[in-house]
Amino acid sequence: MPEAAVLKGTKDGYEIILNDKAEYDEIFKSLTKLLDNLKTQTASTTPQKIAFEIQTQRRLFNAQERSEIEQIFSKYSDFSIHKINSDVVTKEESAQIIDQKTVHVIDRVIRNGQEVNVTGDVLFLGKVHEGGKLLVTGNLYVIGEVKGIIQAGFPNVEDKMIFGDVHNAQQIRIGEQFEILDDTKSADKINSSSIAYVNALHVLDYGNVEDLNQINPKFFNQIGGIING
Amino acid sequence: MGKAYVITSGKGGVGKTTSSANIGTALAMMGKKVCLLDLDIGLRNLDVVLGLDNRIMYDIVDVATGKAKLAQALVKDKRFDDLLYLLPAAQNTDKTALNEGQVVEIVDELKPDFDYVLIDCPAGIEQGFLNAIAGADSAIIVTTPEISAVRDADRVVGILEQHPLKEEPHLIINRIRTHMMKDGTVMDIDEITHHLGVELLGIVFDDDKVISTSNQGEPIVLDTDNPAGQGYRDIARRITGESVPLMEMKDESKPTFWEKVSGWFKNK
């Protein structure tokens, strides 16, 4: 019978793998034994603090089980938990991830007084009337007509962008930065190939799709799905 | 079984009550049996516009609370033989005196006896508005070419989209001043209709006589020569299913040749 808790060195540090076939009691026992051994070993050399990554394989620990592991670690002053990882996620969590990664296509009229909140990116084909609000946690790609208030990176993420012709909008918001287009001359700068983004000085700025790799290199490199590129 | 329309706008003063009175009267002139329901409780006007204010015995709150029977509270317009009735609003209380269920009950009781039930909605989007739309099969949204009225109409269309009635709403653009639309100083008919995305039921030109006739308790539709009255008569015909072309905008500042000629004779 292999040990329920096994230490493994990785390029990022140390990892403790908790066997997903083992009983919980067995895991906690085995983990204590492992840490005891480690303590005596490290005590002989120079004492140093070590943060471990816990890998639970195909098992999800609930809050109580996590706190039990944390308790075991709290007995060792030199050891701590860096994070607890697992190879699996709950359906709920995966649905959230899918939501965040999906580009949602929205084709409706958002009228005066209406507020539409979306998790993830949005390809907007509809209309936002004056007084309507479209608040998106991700990026916002606008093909439709915007005369109301739009926000990307809702409520406070500043590395999101708004693409497209939004020069008729009342307000453009990204994260916590906003611009009232009536007060500025920005509307003249915006056309169908515009990008609204927050620059390095935390100021809302406008650029062109051609310059996307300079405006947001991370996003540019991330764009996937190309088959023969 | 009749059909119930709510006449609403969001904004006040765009002509909901005037439109209710005129469309109701126009339908009665066409021989339809019509009941007008005033839901502007506390600020009733529909009775005044129709010239029926001195005939009120009971009101809608009396009916809802069981103090009076529906038939007792209905006020008959004597100009139309048994065709036009009004259920007046209460004046001594406010919009919260009624709830949606009571209005639905009253409208459902009226519908079998009438061809059309027209519900005059109060301004705003509070309880009074909710009461008014609760009993309706369809909505007629009244707006004027003013931006503020169009914004409020947009809000109302949004609310109606979230609580859809049996039928899609219709739009009336009221108080059109031809020269302002031609100058482009106000939104034109196509712009408003396109912006709101609601089917246009009709247009009504602005006319001083609308006010003067309503002051006498006589809806403008009774005046057969008046363009505003014509607008309402066209609307009534469209409600009954006729297809009537939209009235053309004549530029009142520049009379046509024949109008000039007839003008010379009138002056002499």
Tell me what pLDDT residue A78 has: 84
Is B143 a residue whose pLDDT tops 70? yes
Residue A182's domain spans which residues?
Answer: 93-222
Same domain, A9 and A63: yes
Contact list in B for residue A132 (CB cut-off 8 A) is 158
Domain end marker among A47, A62, A88: A88
Tell me what pLDDT residue A50 has: 84
If you ran DSSP here, which 8-state letter would residue B111 be given?
Answer: G
Closest by CA to A206, choosing from A176, A175, A168, A166, is: A166
Is B19 a residue whose pLDDT tops 90? yes
In this prediction the pTM is 0.78
Same domain, A81 and A112: no
Q: CA of A193 to nearest chain B CA: how many angstroms apart?
A: 25
- What's the rounded mean pLDDT across residues B43-60? 93
Tell me what pLDDT residue A1 has: 60
Reported confidence tier of residue B254, pLDDT bands at 50, 70, 90: low
Tell me what pLDDT residue B76 has: 95
Note whether A111 contacts B158, CB cutoff 8 Å: yes
Our measurement of the distance from residue A200's CA atom to the centroid of its chain's CA atoms, rounded to an integer in Å, reads 20
Same domain, A168 and A120: yes
Within a 10 A sphere around the Cβ of A53, how many other Cβ atoms?
17
Tell me what pLDDT residue B249 has: 78
Whether A170 maps to a domain, the answer reads: yes
Contact list in A for residue B141 (CB cut-off 8 A) is none
Is B251 a residue whose pLDDT tops 80? no
Helices B127-134, B100-110: inter-axial angle, 10-degree rounding: 30
Q: What residues 125-164 of chain A have any CB closer than 8 A to a CB of chain B?
A: 129-132
Residue-wise pLDDT tens digits, B122-140: 999 999 999 999 999 999 9
Is B44 a residue whose pLDDT tops 70? yes
Same domain, A131 and A74: no
Tell me what pLDDT residue B267 has: 58
Same domain, A102 and A212: yes
Within a 10 A sphere around the Cβ of B159, how many other Cβ atoms?
19
Is A217 a residue whose pLDDT tops 60? yes
Same domain, A113 and A80: no
Distances (CA, A) of A86 to A57, A61, B37, B42: 5, 9, 65, 65
Residue-wise pLDDT tens digits, A150-201: 999 999 999 999 999 999 999 999 999 999 998 888 888 899 999 999 999 9
Is B199 a residue whose pLDDT tops 60? yes
Q: Which residue has the higher pLDDT, B125 or B259?
A: B125
Same domain, A71 and A171: no
Reported confidence tier of residue A46, pLDDT bands at 50, 70, 90: low
Same domain, A110 and A64: no
Tell me what pLDDT residue A222 has: 78
Is B36 a residue whose pLDDT tops 60? yes
Q: What residues 71-100 of chain A have any CB closer than 8 A to a CB of chain B?
A: none
Contact list in A for residue B192 (CB cut-off 8 A) is none
Residue-wise pLDDT tens digits, A53-63: 999 989 888 88
If you ran DSSP here, which 8-state letter would residue B55 be given?
Answer: G
Is B252 a residue whose pLDDT tops 60? no
ipTM of model: 0.76
Whether A192 maps to a domain, the answer reads: yes
Using an 8 Å CB-CB cutoff, list residues of chain B that contact chain A: 151-152, 154-155, 157-159, 161, 195, 197
Into how many domains does chain A fold? 2
Distances (CA, A) of A106 to A82, A120, B123, B212: 40, 12, 32, 49
Tell me what pLDDT residue B131 has: 94
Is A128 a residue whose pLDDT tops 80? yes
- What's the rounded mean pLDDT across residues A7-19? 88
Same domain, A160 and A109: yes
Same domain, A83 and A98: no
Average pLDDT, chain B: 92
Asked if A109 is an interface residue toward chain B (Cβ–Cβ < 8 A), one would say yes
Domain end marker among A88, A122, A156: A88
Distances (CA, A) of B49 to A213, B19, B53: 67, 10, 8
Tell me what pLDDT residue B121 has: 96
Whether A162 maps to a domain, the answer reads: yes
Same domain, A121 and A153: yes
